[in-house]
Amino acid sequence: MGDPKKPRRKWESPGHPWIKPRLQREMELLGKYGLRNKRELWIAETMLRRVKHLARSLLALPEEEREKRLQSLVTRLYNLGILQTLNATVSDILNLSVEAILERRLQTIVWKKGLAKTLHQARQMIVHGHIAIRSRRVTSPSHIVSREEENYVSLYPTSPYTKAVATPTS
C-alpha cells in the first residue's frame, strides 16, 4: 500500500515541452472549456489515453473474450456520456478526442444547461458550492457527469441563486 498522503498522479505531461502546434491547441482548449491550467487538460488527455490503450489491448484477445470486454468498455463509456451509441466498435473508441471528455465535465454541463452565463461563472458557482447533483453539493468543476446524473444537475437548495431565479425582480 502507498502512503495515503501522496495519491497517485492522474496525469502525464507531454513528452516534449515546446511543440508549437500542441501549445496552440492546448491554449484553444483552455479557453473553449474554461480550464484553470493545462494540468486539467492533461488529466483529460491521460484519461482518454488509458481508454484508448484498453481498446487497443482488446484487439489481441480471442474473439469471444474481445466481444465481452468490448461491450463492457462501450457500456462504461456510454454511461459516462463519452460515446454516443451502445453499438460502438473499437475504431469508434480509438477515434475519440479529448473534447468528448471535456464536454462531460460538470463545469461545461452547468454552463450548457444555462445555470451560469459563462464557463468561468460556472466554475465559480461550483467551487463556491452553489451546484448540486441529486441535491448533494459538488464542488469539483472537473467532476465527470454521467448520463444518469445529467438530468439532476441543479442549483443547491440553499443557494442564493435559487432565490434570484425563483423571484424575478420588477
State residue 169's pLDDT score.
54
Rounded Cα distance between 33 and 43, Å, is 14
Report how far residue 80's alpha carbon sits from residue 9's, in angstroms, rounded to the nearest whole number: 22
Contact status, residue 79 vs residue 86, Cβ threshold 8 Å: no
Residues in a beta bridge with 132: 137, 154
Give the residue from 104, 99, 101 showing the smallest Cα distance to 145. Answer: 104
Stated pTM of the model: 0.91
Domains in the chain, please, with CATH?
Answer: 20-102 (no CATH), 106-166 (3.10.290.10)
Per-residue pLDDT tens over the stretch 95-128: 999 999 999 999 999 999 999 999 999 999 999 9
Residue 37 in this model has a pLDDT that exceeds 60: yes
Q: What is the model's pLDDT at position 5?
A: 80
159: helix, strand or coil? coil
Ramachandran angles phi, psi of 24, nearest 5°: -65, -45
